[in-house]
């Protein structure tokens, strides 16, 4: 999923970027090899055994990664989880950094596992493709092996999913106009929701500052 803007849509792309919405990827991996750029097409630097790896061991590593990233998410969101406001944000799925932060994984799970290959679904914020490839590499190390990334495919970008994507055969004026019309309400709703989220964060910051002063 690659989101493009036309005319006024370019400003909306900036507004959506400032919403810090989650992107979702399917990421493929191959156990048994390490490369200089963490991809399966990079220069081979190591070969390792992988027969000892099981899906259960992989999923335990994924659980650790998710737990560590959840702590990072709370840290960079500057939210006191003991407050009612924080609970309401969590229920609405609105806990996310409202500024720059390191890449953060909000969810990760194994979709397929057939040694030596595996496929993950990764929900993340502020990521890069290099970061996602490195995650695969680090998973290999944690499992006392090695792994290279074979595929990175974005299947969701904020409010946009594969269902919204236009195949090459529909790259024409009418299809593009229809696509713009179909997504307008979702984009407007998400931006307004985030503005409300930011207002609530400002309110929480002010209350915490007042409490500190008193």
**7-44, pLDDT tens digit by residue?**
888 888 888 888 888 999 999 999 999 999 999 999 99
Instruction: Tell me: pLDDT of 45 over 90.
Output: yes
Instruction: Tell me: pLDDT of 213 over 60.
Output: no
Q: Residues 6 or more apart from 67 whose CB is under 8 A from it? A: none
| pTM assigned to the model | 0.83
The count of other CB atoms within 10 Å of the CB of residue 2 is: 7
Give the residue among 29, 34, 25, 27 at the shortest CA–CA distance from 141: 34
The least confident of 14-23, 43-52, 112-121, 197-206 is 197-206
Q: Are 29 and 113 in contact (CB under 8 A)?
A: no
Give the residue among 151, 121, 141 at the shortest CA–CA distance from 33: 141
């Amino acid at each position: 999923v690659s989101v493009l803007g036309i005319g006024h849509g370019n400003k909306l792309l900036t507004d959506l970027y400032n919403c810090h919405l989650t992107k979702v990827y399917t990421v493929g991996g191959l156990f048994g090899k390490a490369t200089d750029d963490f991809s399966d097409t990079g220069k081979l630097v190591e070969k390792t055994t992988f027969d000892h790896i099981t899906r259960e061991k992989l999923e335990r590593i994924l659980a650790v990664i998710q737990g560590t990233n959840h702590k990072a998410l709370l840290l960079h969101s500057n939210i006191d989880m003991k407050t009612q406001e924080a609970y309401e944000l969590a229920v609405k799925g609105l806990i996310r950094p409202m500024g720059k932060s390191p890449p953060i994984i909000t969810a990760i799970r194994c979709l397929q596992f057939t040694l030596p290959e595996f496929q993950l679904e990764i929900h993340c914020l502020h990521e890069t493709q290099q970061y996602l490839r490195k995650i695969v590499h680090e998973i290999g190390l944690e499992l006392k092996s090695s792994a290279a990334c074979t595929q990175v495919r974005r299947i969701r970008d904020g409010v946009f999913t594969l269902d919204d994507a236009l195949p090459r055969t529909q790259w024409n004026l009418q299809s593009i106009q229809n696509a713009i019309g179909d997504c307008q309400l979702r984009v407007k709703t998400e931006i307004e929701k985030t503005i409300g989220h930011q207002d609530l964060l400002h309110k929480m910051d002010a209350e915490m500052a007042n409490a500190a002063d008193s």
